[in-house]
Every structure is written in structure tokens, then in C-alpha cells.
Amino acid sequence: MFFINTDDIKKLEGDLHHFARRAVPFATKKTLNDSAFAAMSIARTDIKRTLINRNRFTAQSIQVDPARTLNISRQSATVGSTADYMETQEFGGIKTKTRKEGVGITTSYASGEGENAQPRSRLPRKANSMASIKLSKRRNKGNGRKQRNLVSIQQAASTGRKFVFLDLGKTQGIFKVIGGKRRPKIKMVRDMTRQSVVIPRNPWLRPAFDEALRMQPAFYADALRFQIRRGRLFR
């Protein structure tokens, strides 16, 4: 036979209600934020491995808007990128030309990977980047496309300009002039033939979210233990 001390039961019930009212909201907020920051860290690491990063901005653009309220029904933490193009990477899309020329696509020659290397996995070399490319604004006159292209190449070689825009019929783009004045040659650094380009899906957020979600139970358990250690249960 055993006896139950109702005073102890009432105290335990009171402690439990106090815990639910005060500690759980802190724990759920911390769990959401820990999960969001874990997803951010995973995504930043993944894109450094899977995307061609022009600079640190792409990784740093992935940020967290953490949960702040203790109202459980309104708690939310958001992970995303401040860079518009990262949405296109996640879901895919179509890039359409905005000028008369087609969409510019950097070639593998420009990145130092040789001609027609697929897929290109490096950024263009600094000397072949758009920031370094200067084109003549003067339009060459001639009796045909081939003659205009020839004049453009010869003028670039004679004046020391390294780049020209050429329309070769089925192909057009920005070419680098190499080989000297007497026998100049051209190498394409930016293909501007296509009117639009389909950008395939390259998810970076969903995999990070899924991995962080698997970590969430452990985050919640740690958050509850933290609240108990702080003595909130028995206040």
C-alpha cells in the first residue's frame, strides 16, 4: 500500500505549467534559430563546392532572419539569399537578352580551361573578364559581314586593342585578338549567339534545409536541457 502526497502533486503540476509557459517558448525559439543557422552554414559550404563563385559575396549573401518572439504560434526563422540570382540557381529559369546582342556566355577559353571544355568550372581570367574588356564604339563599314569582321580584327591588332565584337553569321560574340599585327588570330571569350539561355536547377537551399531538419531533434533536446540547467523549471 502507498500514499500520494497531494501537495507534492500540485507542486509538480505547477512546475510543469511554469515550464510549459516560460521555458518551452525559449527552447522552441532557440531550436528554430539553431536549425536556421545550421542550414545557412551548410548552404555556404555547399555552394563553395558546387557553384562558380565570383567572390565571397555569394556565400555571404546567404543569411538568417532569426526568430525573436516568445509567442510559439508566431515563431519563425528564415534562411535565404540577398542575391537575386540565387533564386534562379535554386529553381532554375530562363535568361533572356536585354540588348540587340544575345545573352553573353563566358567560354572555357576565357577561363583558361581550353576551347570547348564542358562544363566550364572556373571563372574567366582577370584579363578576359568583362571589367577588362573594352570595345571600340566605332562601327566599321564594308560591303559585307566578312569584310567588316576582317577590318575590325586588323584595326584591333594595329591599335593594340585586345577585344572585338564579331558577327560570324551563325555565331557572334566577343573575341580576343592574338598573334600580332601581321597574322592576327581570334579566340572567343564570350558567346553572344543565343537569344535566351535555360539555367538548370542547382538547389543549394533545399539540401541544406533537409540536413538541418534532421538535426532539429538534437537541437530541441539541447535547448530543453539548457532551460532546465538555468533553473527555469522550478522558479
Domain ranges of the chain: 6-92+200-234, 102-197
Identify whether the C-beta of residue 234 lies closer than 8 Å to the C-beta of residue 61.
Answer: no
Compute the distance between CA of residue 197 and CA of residue 172 in angstroms, rounded to an integer: 15
- Give the tens place of pLDDT for each residue, 186-204: 888 888 888 888 888 889 9
Identify whether the C-beta of residue 137 lies closer than 8 Å to the C-beta of residue 145.
Answer: no
- Rounded to the nearest 10 degrees, what angle do helices 24-50 and 205-229 cross at? 150
| Cell output for 136 | 571600340
What one-letter code names the amino acid at 72? I
Say which residue, 25 or 125, is predicted with more confidence.
25
* Proportion of the chain above pLDDT 90, given as a percent: 24
Whose cell is 500540485? That residue is 10
Supply the pLDDT for residue 148: 85
Identify whether the C-beta of residue 198 lies closer than 8 Å to the C-beta of residue 208.
Answer: no
Lowest mean pLDDT among 74-78, 89-93, 135-139, 176-180: 135-139
- Give the tens place of pLDDT for each residue, 219-235: 998 888 888 777 644 45
Give this prediction's pTM. 0.67
Compute the distance between CA of residue 184 and CA of residue 157 in angstroms, rounded to an integer: 7
Give the DSSP letter string of 93-162: EEEE-SSSS---EE-TTTTTS-TT-SS--SPPPGGGSTTT-----PPPP-SSHHHHHHHHHHHHHHHT--
Give the DSSP letter string of 15-51: HHHHIIIIIHHHHHHHHHHHHHHHHHHHHHHHHHHHS
pLDDT tier, 101 (very low <50, low <70, confident <90, very high otherwise): confident
Compute the distance between CA of residue 17 and CA of residue 136 in angstroms, rounded to an integer: 76
Supply the pLDDT for residue 233: 44
| Average pLDDT along the chain | 82
Q: Do you find a cis peptide bond into 217, omega within 30 degrees of 0?
A: no
Supply the pLDDT for residue 67: 94
What one-letter code names the amino acid at 174? I
